[in-house]
Amino acid sequence: MHYDNPNRLSGVIDSSGMTFYYIDTPREHNAGILQVGHAVNQYMIIPPKARNYTIYGFCSSTCTENFPEEGIHIFANALHTHLLGVGVKLYHLRVTDQCRSGSGIEELKPIDSNPFYDFDFQEVVHFDEVTVKRGDMLVLTCTYDSTNENAVTLGGESTHEEMCLTFPFYYPSGSLTHCMSTANVITLAPFLSRYYNSSQLSALQYAPESLISQIFNNIDWSPEEIQRLESSVLSSSQYAFCPEPGVPFNESLTFEPVPSIGCPYEAPPVMLECPNSIDPTTDPTSGAGAVSLITLSVTVLLFAMIAMILIN
């Protein structure tokens, strides 16, 4: 939990709280929460005046190989962006023998999706549990609307900065708490190379947030330039990481391309059932259907006559 009071208002009272439960018999499984998405840093960049701008982060197969042998079972999830977020989706990908197209990666049913995301209506959604196996991949896409912004929005913890995260609730709990990826200067190089040479780009590797903000705010953000940045980032590799306790962070980094879907998920057709009282093969102008229509017509006519009498 964090607080945002930019106007320094006094007398604001927080009535939220926490409830702890104690049980005297251990459960069969302990649950855990995994953080998945794009790392919260200055390399997550949303240009101004952009509608439906998409950013992604992923949990790589390299990381999920550390899952238990039977995998993990996700039973709930909480999607999270800040004020500019308008849509979030958590993809579930798996390499299968059934997928013989392209990369061989099959898109399974999305674990969670909210195409009408609203920062003020966040919730933990419960659903039938989903098993994520060793070697599976999770990809999170976040869509933003910055049409009312005049400056670039960077990733950060402030409410007026942005995030692209999701928090799956799962069991059995393990030591892994983060499974994420991040863009960096290498990811942004194809786009920035139109403005800077290679030596200048190298110097940006450890640039502070203020310098990144200055660089991207100096760009004239036409619709074409917005599309160019989005396409460049979506087609570039990112650093994937899943730090384990006692393991140096750098040792968990792998530079990987975004997983490419070979076989997209096809949702089963929705079957709409007619009410039992209606037979779709019955001609409404005959039999019982005709009687119902006549009764309705007489009733409507009767009410109309009564209304005319009352008016006169």
Query: Does residue 294 sit within a domain?
Result: no
Query: Does residue 297 sit within a domain?
Result: no
Give the pLDDT confidence score for residue 206 in this predicted structure: 76
Query: Does residue 224 sit within a domain?
Result: yes
Q: Is the confidence at residue 293, as pLDDT, over 70? A: no
Pick the more confident residue, 77 or 205.
77
**pLDDT digit string, tens, across residues 97-136:** 888 877 889 999 999 999 999 999 999 999 999 999 999 9
Query: Does residue 5 sit within a domain?
Result: no
In terms of DSSP H, where are the helices of 45-148? 61-64
Q: Is the confidence at residue 297, as pLDDT, over 70? A: no
- Number of domains observed in the structure of the chain: 1
Give the pLDDT confidence score for residue 304 in this predicted structure: 60
Pick the more confident residue, 145 or 245.
145
Query: Does residue 156 sit within a domain?
Result: yes
Q: Give one DSSP letter per residue of 254-267, joined into a string.
A: EEEEPPPPSB---P
Query: Does residue 15 sit within a domain?
Result: no
**pLDDT digit string, tens, across residues 41-54:** 999 999 999 999 99
Q: What is the pTM of this model?
A: 0.82
Q: Domain holding 66: CATH number?
A: 2.60.120.230
Q: Quick one: three-class SS letters along 71-91?
A: CEEEEEEEEECCCCEEEEEEE
CB contact set of 89 (below 8 Å; sequence gap of 6+): 110, 112, 113, 114, 115, 140, 141
Closest CA to 77 of 88, 64, 65: 88
Query: Does residue 171 sit within a domain?
Result: yes
49-58, 61-70, 182-191, 289-298: lowest mean pLDDT where? Answer: 289-298
Domain range for 247 = 32-257
- Is residue 60 within 8 A of residue 254, CB to CB? The reply is yes
Cis ω on the peptide bond leading into residue 172 (within 30° of 0)?
Answer: yes
Confidence of residue 92 (pLDDT cuts 50, 70, 90): very high
Query: Does residue 193 sit within a domain?
Result: yes
